[in-house]
Amino acid sequence: AQKITQTQPGMFVQEKEAVTLDCTYDTSDQSYGLFWYKQPSSGEMIFLIYQGSYDEQNATEGRYSLNFQKARKSANLVISASQLGDSAMYFCAMRVFSSNTGKLIFGQGTTLQVKP
């Protein structure tokens, strides 16, 4: 079965510090992609970063980086220099390419609160 697991329902971080949000995935396919989205309290889903299963380098986008450990099937999101505006819910998601559907499978999410 294909599944995404986010084990941290809630996290706190001090402003300007770095924080890691955990994500593990389960698939027997070799070709897949991993996505992270941010959902503020307004409800919109904002795409943050993508990592393909064959990408050798960890993905980075500004203050976001993805710590991809293929053997452990983990794709943790690292946010550096946290800002108050980073307070939101964060979702990890997976696309399995063999399905040819384009759909994303989402985890339960982690709520991040940044303290001033």
User: By CB under 8 A, is residue 30 in contact with other proteins?
Assistant: no
User: By CB under 8 A, is residue 33 in contact with other proteins?
Assistant: yes
Candidates 47, 69, 81, 113; binder of other proteins (CB under 8 A) is 47
Candidates 28, 41, 42, 57; binder of other proteins (CB under 8 A) is 42
Given CA atoms 36, 40, 45, 49 in this order, what sign does their dihedral have? negative
Strand ranges (E), 1-73? 3-5, 10-14, 19-21, 24-26, 32-39, 46-52, 60-61, 64-69
With 0-12 CB in 10 A as exposed, 13-18 as middle and 19+ as buried, what is 90?
Answer: buried
User: By CB under 8 A, is residue 97 in contact with other proteins?
Assistant: yes
* Min CB(17)–other proteins separation in Å: 25
Which residues of this protein are in contact with other proteins, per CB under 8 A? Answer: 4, 6, 9, 33, 35, 42-45, 47, 50, 52, 91, 93, 97, 100-109
